[in-house]
Structure 1
Protein backbone atom coordinates (compact mmCIF):
# COMPACT_ATOMS: atom_id res chain seq x y z
CA UNK A 1 0.00 0.00 0.00
CA UNK A 2 1.49 3.40 -0.94
CA UNK A 3 1.92 5.90 1.89
CA UNK A 4 -0.79 8.53 2.19
CA UNK A 5 -0.30 12.21 2.90
CA UNK A 6 -2.90 12.34 5.68
CA UNK A 7 -5.11 9.91 7.58
CA UNK A 8 -8.51 10.19 9.27
CA UNK A 9 -11.27 8.16 10.83
CA UNK A 10 -14.49 8.49 8.86
CA UNK A 11 -17.92 7.06 9.09
CA UNK A 12 -18.68 5.55 5.68
CA UNK A 13 -22.08 4.12 4.83
CA UNK A 14 -22.01 0.36 4.27
CA UNK A 15 -22.31 -0.72 0.64
CA UNK A 16 -25.83 -0.09 -0.59
CA UNK A 17 -28.15 2.52 -2.14
CA UNK A 18 -27.21 5.42 0.18
CA UNK A 19 -23.48 4.85 -0.28
CA UNK A 20 -23.96 4.55 -4.04
CA UNK A 21 -25.95 7.77 -4.17
CA UNK A 22 -23.40 9.67 -2.07
CA UNK A 23 -20.52 8.54 -4.25
CA UNK A 24 -22.25 9.50 -7.49
CA UNK A 25 -23.61 12.77 -6.11
CA UNK A 26 -20.14 13.92 -5.05
CA UNK A 27 -18.41 12.28 -8.01
CA UNK A 28 -15.81 10.42 -5.93
CA UNK A 29 -16.18 6.93 -4.47
CA UNK A 30 -13.93 6.91 -1.41
CA UNK A 31 -14.49 3.18 -0.85
CA UNK A 32 -13.29 2.26 -4.35
CA UNK A 33 -10.93 5.19 -4.92
CA UNK A 34 -12.42 6.12 -8.28
CA UNK A 35 -14.31 8.99 -9.87
CA UNK A 36 -18.02 8.32 -10.46
CA UNK A 37 -20.42 9.96 -12.95
CA UNK A 38 -22.87 12.39 -11.39
CA UNK A 39 -26.58 11.47 -11.31
CA UNK A 40 -29.33 13.34 -13.08
CA UNK A 41 -31.30 15.29 -10.45
CA UNK A 42 -34.13 17.52 -11.61
CA UNK A 43 -34.59 21.02 -10.23
CA UNK A 44 -31.01 21.85 -9.25
CA UNK A 45 -30.09 25.54 -9.45
CA UNK A 46 -26.57 24.75 -10.70
CA UNK A 47 -24.76 21.76 -12.21
CA UNK A 48 -24.00 18.96 -9.74
CA UNK A 49 -20.26 19.26 -10.39
CA UNK A 50 -20.36 22.90 -9.26
CA UNK A 51 -22.47 22.23 -6.16
CA UNK A 52 -20.21 19.39 -5.03
CA UNK A 53 -16.77 20.69 -6.07
CA UNK A 54 -15.53 21.50 -2.56
CA UNK A 55 -16.44 18.26 -0.73
CA UNK A 56 -15.75 15.93 -3.69
CA UNK A 57 -12.21 14.84 -2.80
CA UNK A 58 -13.27 13.82 0.72
CA UNK A 59 -15.97 11.45 -0.48
CA UNK A 60 -19.38 10.88 1.13
CA UNK A 61 -18.59 10.56 4.81
CA UNK A 62 -18.95 11.80 8.34
CA UNK A 63 -15.69 12.90 9.95
CA UNK A 64 -14.95 11.23 13.28
CA UNK A 65 -11.24 11.97 13.77
CA UNK A 66 -10.25 14.84 11.47
CA UNK A 67 -7.45 14.39 8.92
CA UNK A 68 -3.93 14.48 10.32
CA UNK A 69 -0.39 13.84 9.21
CA UNK A 70 1.31 10.86 10.76
CA UNK A 71 3.79 11.66 13.52
CA UNK A 72 7.38 11.10 12.45
CA UNK A 73 7.98 8.43 15.08
CA UNK A 74 4.83 6.47 14.19
CA UNK A 75 4.22 3.99 11.40
CA UNK A 76 1.17 3.31 9.30
CA UNK A 77 1.15 -0.30 10.51
CA UNK A 78 1.00 0.86 14.12
CA UNK A 79 -1.80 3.32 13.30
CA UNK A 80 -3.83 0.61 11.58
CA UNK A 81 -3.36 -1.78 14.50
CA UNK A 82 -4.29 0.81 17.14
CA UNK A 83 -7.31 2.08 15.18
CA UNK A 84 -8.55 -1.51 14.78
CA UNK A 85 -8.10 -2.23 18.49
CA UNK A 86 -9.71 1.06 19.52
CA UNK A 87 -12.82 0.47 17.44
CA UNK A 88 -13.07 -3.08 18.73
CA UNK A 89 -13.42 -1.60 22.24
CA UNK A 90 -16.10 0.92 21.25
CA UNK A 91 -19.81 0.14 21.00
CA UNK A 92 -22.02 0.63 17.96
CA UNK A 93 -24.33 3.65 17.97
CA UNK A 94 -28.02 3.80 17.09
CA UNK A 95 -29.43 7.11 15.85
CA UNK A 96 -33.10 7.90 15.44
CA UNK A 97 -32.27 8.54 11.81
CA UNK A 98 -30.56 10.94 9.43
CA UNK A 99 -32.10 14.06 7.93
CA UNK A 100 -31.29 16.36 5.03
CA UNK A 101 -30.31 19.60 6.75
CA UNK A 102 -29.00 23.06 5.78
CA UNK A 103 -25.96 23.82 7.94
CA UNK A 104 -25.02 27.44 7.55
CA UNK A 105 -24.26 27.81 3.85
CA UNK A 106 -24.00 24.13 2.93
CA UNK A 107 -26.19 21.04 2.83
CA UNK A 108 -25.59 17.81 4.77
CA UNK A 109 -27.14 14.75 6.33
CA UNK A 110 -27.27 15.15 10.11
CA UNK A 111 -28.57 13.00 12.98
CA UNK A 112 -32.23 13.22 13.86
CA UNK A 113 -32.75 13.35 17.62
CA UNK A 114 -30.15 12.76 20.30
CA UNK A 115 -26.60 12.17 19.03
CA UNK A 116 -24.79 12.16 22.40
CA UNK A 117 -23.57 8.56 22.00
CA UNK A 118 -22.07 9.39 18.62
CA UNK A 119 -20.34 12.46 20.08
CA UNK A 120 -18.84 10.29 22.82
CA UNK A 121 -17.64 7.81 20.20
CA UNK A 122 -16.00 10.60 18.21
CA UNK A 123 -14.32 12.01 21.31
CA UNK A 124 -12.88 8.59 22.15
CA UNK A 125 -11.47 8.29 18.63
CA UNK A 126 -9.97 11.79 18.66
CA UNK A 127 -8.26 11.14 22.00
CA UNK A 128 -7.40 7.50 21.39
CA UNK A 129 -5.41 8.14 18.21
CA UNK A 130 -3.93 11.51 19.13
CA UNK A 131 -0.44 10.08 19.72
CA UNK A 132 -0.30 9.32 15.98
CA UNK A 133 -1.02 12.93 14.96
CA UNK A 134 1.82 15.18 13.91
CA UNK A 135 1.26 18.62 15.50
CA UNK A 136 -0.28 21.13 13.10
CA UNK A 137 2.14 23.61 11.57
CA UNK A 138 1.87 27.37 12.00
CA UNK A 139 0.37 27.86 8.53
CA UNK A 140 -2.42 25.39 9.25
CA UNK A 141 -3.10 26.91 12.66
CA UNK A 142 -3.27 30.39 11.14
CA UNK A 143 -5.67 29.17 8.45
CA UNK A 144 -7.98 27.68 11.05
CA UNK A 145 -7.85 30.82 13.19
CA UNK A 146 -8.59 33.09 10.23
CA UNK A 147 -12.18 31.83 10.20
CA UNK A 148 -12.79 33.09 13.73
CA UNK A 149 -12.83 30.67 16.66
CA UNK A 150 -14.51 30.70 20.03
CA UNK A 151 -12.28 30.29 23.11
CA UNK A 152 -13.31 26.63 23.34
CA UNK A 153 -12.55 26.05 19.66
CA UNK A 154 -9.16 27.70 20.09
CA UNK A 155 -8.46 25.34 22.99
CA UNK A 156 -9.47 22.38 20.82
CA UNK A 157 -7.18 23.56 18.03
CA UNK A 158 -4.26 23.89 20.41
CA UNK A 159 -4.84 20.53 22.13
CA UNK A 160 -6.25 18.33 19.37
CA UNK A 161 -5.17 20.07 16.14
CA UNK A 162 -8.74 20.86 15.00
CA UNK A 163 -11.35 23.30 16.36
CA UNK A 164 -14.54 21.30 15.88
CA UNK A 165 -14.02 18.30 18.14
CA UNK A 166 -15.14 17.28 21.63
CA UNK A 167 -17.94 19.64 22.76
CA UNK A 168 -17.85 21.38 19.35
CA UNK A 169 -18.27 18.14 17.37
CA UNK A 170 -21.35 18.04 15.16
CA UNK A 171 -21.71 14.93 13.02
CA UNK A 172 -22.61 15.66 9.39
CA UNK A 173 -22.22 14.09 5.97
CA UNK A 174 -21.53 16.96 3.62
CA UNK A 175 -23.43 17.18 0.32
CA UNK A 176 -22.44 20.59 -1.02
CA UNK A 177 -19.97 23.41 -0.91
CA UNK A 178 -20.92 26.90 0.17
CA UNK A 179 -24.16 28.01 -1.50
CA UNK A 180 -26.27 31.14 -1.52
CA UNK A 181 -29.46 30.96 0.51
CA UNK A 182 -31.50 30.68 -2.67
CA UNK A 183 -29.34 27.91 -4.17
CA UNK A 184 -29.24 26.07 -0.84
CA UNK A 185 -33.03 25.98 -0.61
CA UNK A 186 -33.38 24.89 -4.24
CA UNK A 187 -30.76 22.14 -3.86
CA UNK A 188 -32.44 20.84 -0.71
CA UNK A 189 -35.82 20.79 -2.45
CA UNK A 190 -34.35 18.90 -5.43
CA UNK A 191 -32.49 16.34 -3.28
CA UNK A 192 -35.19 15.64 -0.71
CA UNK A 193 -37.29 13.24 -2.84
CA UNK A 194 -34.11 11.47 -3.97
CA UNK A 195 -32.30 11.13 -0.64
CA UNK A 196 -35.04 10.78 1.97
CA UNK A 197 -36.29 7.38 0.70
CA UNK A 198 -32.73 6.06 1.18
CA UNK A 199 -32.59 6.97 4.89
CA UNK A 200 -33.47 4.22 7.35
CA UNK A 201 -34.85 4.86 10.82
CA UNK A 202 -33.40 3.97 13.22
CA UNK A 203 -29.96 4.35 11.68
CA UNK A 204 -27.23 1.99 12.88
CA UNK A 205 -23.53 2.94 12.95
CA UNK A 206 -21.63 -0.31 13.39
CA UNK A 207 -18.17 0.51 12.03
CA UNK A 208 -15.64 3.24 11.43
CA UNK A 209 -13.28 3.54 8.48
CA UNK A 210 -9.57 4.33 8.39
CA UNK A 211 -8.98 6.48 5.32
CA UNK A 212 -5.98 8.12 3.70
CA UNK A 213 -5.47 11.08 1.38
CA UNK A 214 -3.30 10.69 -1.71
CA UNK A 215 -0.94 13.28 -3.17
CA UNK A 216 -3.92 15.09 -4.74
CA UNK A 217 -5.70 15.08 -1.34
CA UNK A 218 -8.39 12.65 -2.50
CA UNK A 219 -9.44 10.25 0.24
CA UNK A 220 -9.42 6.47 -0.08
CA UNK A 221 -10.75 3.73 2.16
CA UNK A 222 -7.90 1.86 3.83
CA UNK A 223 -9.83 -0.46 6.16
CA UNK A 224 -13.29 -0.79 7.68
CA UNK A 225 -13.12 -1.10 11.46
CA UNK A 226 -16.05 -2.87 13.20
CA UNK A 227 -17.33 -1.45 16.48
CA UNK A 228 -17.45 -4.45 18.82
CA UNK A 229 -17.65 -3.00 22.35
Structure 2
Protein backbone atom coordinates (compact mmCIF):
# COMPACT_ATOMS: atom_id res chain seq x y z
CA UNK A 1 0.00 0.00 0.00
CA UNK A 2 2.81 2.42 0.88
CA UNK A 3 5.80 3.27 -1.31
CA UNK A 4 7.93 4.90 1.40
CA UNK A 5 7.96 5.07 5.18
CA UNK A 6 9.14 7.65 7.71
CA UNK A 7 9.31 8.28 11.45
CA UNK A 8 7.71 11.56 12.51
CA UNK A 9 6.60 13.28 15.66
CA UNK A 10 2.90 14.05 15.25
CA UNK A 11 0.90 16.28 17.56
CA UNK A 12 -2.49 15.40 19.00
CA UNK A 13 -5.49 17.40 20.18
CA UNK A 14 -6.14 21.03 19.22
CA UNK A 15 -2.68 21.53 17.72
CA UNK A 16 -3.18 18.55 15.43
CA UNK A 17 -6.62 19.83 14.42
CA UNK A 18 -5.18 23.25 13.62
CA UNK A 19 -2.33 21.74 11.59
CA UNK A 20 -4.67 19.54 9.57
CA UNK A 21 -6.87 22.50 8.62
CA UNK A 22 -4.00 24.88 7.96
CA UNK A 23 -2.13 22.41 5.74
CA UNK A 24 -5.27 20.90 4.23
CA UNK A 25 -4.34 17.31 5.04
CA UNK A 26 -5.14 15.24 8.13
CA UNK A 27 -2.44 12.56 8.20
CA UNK A 28 -4.15 10.72 11.08
CA UNK A 29 -7.48 10.35 9.30
CA UNK A 30 -6.00 10.29 5.79
CA UNK A 31 -8.33 12.95 4.43
CA UNK A 32 -8.37 16.40 2.90
CA UNK A 33 -9.44 19.22 5.24
CA UNK A 34 -10.76 22.66 4.26
CA UNK A 35 -8.32 25.52 4.82
CA UNK A 36 -9.21 28.37 7.19
CA UNK A 37 -9.91 31.80 5.74
CA UNK A 38 -7.23 34.28 6.81
CA UNK A 39 -7.37 37.77 5.35
CA UNK A 40 -4.50 38.54 3.00
CA UNK A 41 -3.11 35.00 2.92
CA UNK A 42 -3.53 32.44 0.13
CA UNK A 43 -3.36 29.45 2.47
CA UNK A 44 -3.47 26.87 -0.32
CA UNK A 45 -0.48 28.47 -2.05
CA UNK A 46 1.53 28.96 1.15
CA UNK A 47 1.04 25.36 2.27
CA UNK A 48 1.32 23.57 -1.08
CA UNK A 49 4.82 22.17 -0.47
CA UNK A 50 4.37 20.65 3.02
CA UNK A 51 0.73 19.60 2.54
CA UNK A 52 1.45 16.00 1.63
CA UNK A 53 3.11 15.37 5.00
CA UNK A 54 0.44 16.89 7.24
CA UNK A 55 1.51 18.49 10.52
CA UNK A 56 4.70 16.74 11.62
CA UNK A 57 8.30 16.99 12.70
CA UNK A 58 10.69 14.69 10.87
CA UNK A 59 12.70 12.31 13.05
CA UNK A 60 13.77 9.88 10.30
CA UNK A 61 13.21 11.11 6.77
CA UNK A 62 11.16 9.13 4.22
CA UNK A 63 12.82 5.96 2.95
CA UNK A 64 12.08 2.88 0.92
CA UNK A 65 12.24 -0.46 2.73
CA UNK A 66 15.35 -2.58 2.51
CA UNK A 67 15.21 -6.05 0.97
CA UNK A 68 15.57 -7.59 4.44
CA UNK A 69 12.69 -5.62 5.95
CA UNK A 70 8.97 -5.35 5.37
CA UNK A 71 6.03 -3.36 6.72
CA UNK A 72 5.30 -5.76 9.59
CA UNK A 73 8.96 -6.05 10.56
CA UNK A 74 9.33 -2.27 10.53
CA UNK A 75 6.26 -1.87 12.73
CA UNK A 76 7.67 -4.32 15.26
CA UNK A 77 10.99 -2.47 15.27
CA UNK A 78 9.39 0.93 15.88
CA UNK A 79 7.18 -0.53 18.61
CA UNK A 80 10.22 -2.05 20.31
CA UNK A 81 12.14 1.24 19.95
CA UNK A 82 9.33 3.10 21.71
CA UNK A 83 9.49 0.78 24.72
CA UNK A 84 13.21 1.48 25.15
CA UNK A 85 13.19 5.28 24.91
CA UNK A 86 11.60 7.88 27.13
CA UNK A 87 9.50 10.89 26.24
CA UNK A 88 11.39 14.18 25.94
CA UNK A 89 10.16 17.54 27.22
CA UNK A 90 11.36 20.07 24.63
CA UNK A 91 9.94 23.17 26.31
CA UNK A 92 7.91 25.88 24.61
CA UNK A 93 7.48 26.20 20.86
CA UNK A 94 7.70 29.47 18.97
CA UNK A 95 6.29 30.48 15.61
CA UNK A 96 8.81 31.98 13.24
CA UNK A 97 10.39 32.22 9.80
CA UNK A 98 13.78 30.53 9.66
CA UNK A 99 15.70 28.60 7.00
CA UNK A 100 13.27 30.08 4.47
CA UNK A 101 10.00 28.68 5.79
CA UNK A 102 7.49 29.24 8.57
CA UNK A 103 7.39 26.62 11.32
CA UNK A 104 6.93 25.93 15.00
CA UNK A 105 10.31 25.33 16.61
CA UNK A 106 11.54 24.67 20.16
CA UNK A 107 12.83 27.83 21.82
CA UNK A 108 15.67 25.94 23.52
CA UNK A 109 15.86 22.31 22.34
CA UNK A 110 17.44 20.07 24.99
CA UNK A 111 20.28 17.63 24.42
CA UNK A 112 17.85 14.77 25.05
CA UNK A 113 15.98 15.68 21.87
CA UNK A 114 19.13 15.31 19.80
CA UNK A 115 19.89 12.01 21.57
CA UNK A 116 16.42 10.72 20.65
CA UNK A 117 16.80 11.80 17.02
CA UNK A 118 20.21 10.14 16.76
CA UNK A 119 18.80 6.92 18.18
CA UNK A 120 15.89 6.89 15.74
CA UNK A 121 18.15 7.52 12.74
CA UNK A 122 20.72 4.88 13.67
CA UNK A 123 18.71 2.14 15.37
CA UNK A 124 16.10 1.87 12.63
CA UNK A 125 18.43 2.32 9.67
CA UNK A 126 18.63 -1.39 8.87
CA UNK A 127 15.09 -1.06 7.48
CA UNK A 128 16.11 1.63 4.96
CA UNK A 129 17.04 0.74 1.39
CA UNK A 130 20.14 2.51 0.02
CA UNK A 131 19.60 5.72 -1.90
CA UNK A 132 19.44 5.42 -5.66
CA UNK A 133 21.70 7.52 -7.90
CA UNK A 134 18.62 9.63 -8.68
CA UNK A 135 18.01 10.17 -4.95
CA UNK A 136 21.59 11.31 -4.47
CA UNK A 137 21.48 13.65 -7.46
CA UNK A 138 18.23 15.19 -6.20
CA UNK A 139 19.67 15.79 -2.74
CA UNK A 140 22.78 17.37 -4.21
CA UNK A 141 20.70 20.04 -5.92
CA UNK A 142 20.62 21.70 -2.50
CA UNK A 143 23.82 23.34 -1.20
CA UNK A 144 25.13 20.66 1.17
CA UNK A 145 28.19 20.92 3.36
CA UNK A 146 30.75 18.13 3.16
CA UNK A 147 29.40 16.71 6.42
CA UNK A 148 25.80 16.86 5.23
CA UNK A 149 26.70 15.15 1.98
CA UNK A 150 28.41 12.32 3.87
CA UNK A 151 25.46 11.98 6.23
CA UNK A 152 23.19 11.73 3.22
CA UNK A 153 25.33 8.93 1.79
CA UNK A 154 25.66 7.09 5.12
CA UNK A 155 22.19 7.52 6.57
CA UNK A 156 19.91 8.58 3.69
CA UNK A 157 19.35 12.21 4.74
CA UNK A 158 21.69 15.18 5.14
CA UNK A 159 20.01 17.10 7.98
CA UNK A 160 20.63 14.80 10.93
CA UNK A 161 22.72 14.72 14.11
CA UNK A 162 24.39 18.14 14.53
CA UNK A 163 22.40 19.40 11.52
CA UNK A 164 19.05 18.32 12.99
CA UNK A 165 16.69 21.11 14.03
CA UNK A 166 13.22 19.93 14.99
CA UNK A 167 10.40 21.89 13.36
CA UNK A 168 6.70 21.49 12.61
CA UNK A 169 6.52 22.90 9.10
CA UNK A 170 3.72 25.33 8.26
CA UNK A 171 4.78 26.67 4.85
CA UNK A 172 6.88 26.11 1.81
CA UNK A 173 9.78 28.46 1.00
CA UNK A 174 8.63 32.07 1.38
CA UNK A 175 10.27 35.47 0.85
CA UNK A 176 10.66 37.56 3.98
CA UNK A 177 7.77 39.94 3.31
CA UNK A 178 5.26 37.18 2.63
CA UNK A 179 6.54 35.13 5.57
CA UNK A 180 6.07 38.08 7.93
CA UNK A 181 2.46 38.36 6.76
CA UNK A 182 1.89 34.65 7.35
CA UNK A 183 3.45 34.75 10.83
CA UNK A 184 1.31 37.74 11.77
CA UNK A 185 -1.83 36.01 10.54
CA UNK A 186 -1.03 32.74 12.31
CA UNK A 187 0.18 34.13 15.62
CA UNK A 188 -3.24 34.66 17.26
CA UNK A 189 -4.37 31.21 16.10
CA UNK A 190 -1.26 29.40 17.26
CA UNK A 191 -0.50 31.22 20.53
CA UNK A 192 -3.06 29.38 22.69
CA UNK A 193 -2.04 26.04 21.17
CA UNK A 194 1.61 26.38 22.18
CA UNK A 195 1.15 28.09 25.52
CA UNK A 196 2.15 24.91 27.38
CA UNK A 197 5.56 23.24 26.92
CA UNK A 198 5.71 20.55 24.25
CA UNK A 199 6.65 16.94 24.95
CA UNK A 200 7.78 14.46 22.34
CA UNK A 201 5.70 11.71 23.88
CA UNK A 202 5.52 9.32 20.94
CA UNK A 203 6.97 8.49 17.55
CA UNK A 204 4.70 7.91 14.59
CA UNK A 205 5.34 5.44 11.79
CA UNK A 206 4.18 7.05 8.55
CA UNK A 207 3.48 5.62 5.10
CA UNK A 208 3.44 7.48 1.78
CA UNK A 209 0.76 6.37 -0.65
CA UNK A 210 0.99 6.22 -4.43
CA UNK A 211 -0.36 9.77 -4.71
CA UNK A 212 2.42 11.12 -2.51
CA UNK A 213 0.35 11.72 0.64
CA UNK A 214 1.57 10.61 4.07
CA UNK A 215 -0.62 8.65 6.50
CA UNK A 216 -0.17 7.74 10.14
CA UNK A 217 0.21 3.96 10.39
CA UNK A 218 0.59 3.94 14.18
CA UNK A 219 1.64 6.36 16.91
CA UNK A 220 3.84 4.61 19.48
CA UNK A 221 4.09 6.20 22.98
CA UNK A 222 7.66 6.52 24.26
CA UNK A 223 7.54 4.51 27.48
CA UNK A 224 11.18 3.58 28.12
Q: TM-score if structure 1 supplies the norm length?
A: 0.95
- Pairing of 1:5-20 with structure 2 (within 5 A): 5-14=3-12, 16-20=13-17
Q: Deviations over 1:58-111 (max 9, x none)?
A: 110000011000012211111000110011101100022111021122100000
Say whether 1:123 aligns with 2:111. no
Query: Does the residue aligned with 1:221 lie in a helix, a strand or coil?
Result: strand
1:20 deviates by: 0.3
CA distance in 2, matches of 1:72, 1:197: 45
Matching residue of 1:169: 164
Matching residue of 1:32: 29
CA distance in 1, matches of 2:11, 2:195: 12
Matching residue of 2:67: 72
Query: Does the residue aligned with 1:121 lie in a helix, a strand or coil?
Result: helix
Structure 1, unmatched stretches of 5+, are none
Query: Does the residue aligned with 2:166 lie in a helix, a strand or coil?
Result: coil
1:157 deviates by: 0.6
Aligned positions, number: 224
Which segments of structure 1 move beyond 4 Å, counting only runs of 4 or more? Answer: none
CA distance in 1, matches of 2:98, 2:180: 11
| Among 9, 18, 23, the residue aligned to 2:20 | 23
Task: Name the CA shift for 1:139/1:41 in 2 (closer, same or farther; >3 Å).
Answer: same
Larger deviation, residues 5-14 vs 194-203: 194-203
Matching residue of 2:216: 221
| Among 142, 148, 151, the residue aligned to 1:147 | 142
| Among 50, 54, 66, the residue aligned to 1:55 | 50
1:40 deviates by: 1.7
Q: TM-score if structure 2 supplies the norm length?
A: 0.97
Larger deviation, residues 19-28 vs 200-209: 200-209
Q: Deviations over 1:93-130 (max 9, x none)?
A: 00221110211221000001133211111110010110
Q: CA RMSD in A?
A: 1.0
Structure 2, unmatched stretches of 5+, are none
Q: Deviations over 1:165-200 (max 9, x none)?
A: 111111001000111111011111111111111113
- Pairing of 1:179-190 with structure 2 (within 5 A): 179-190=174-185
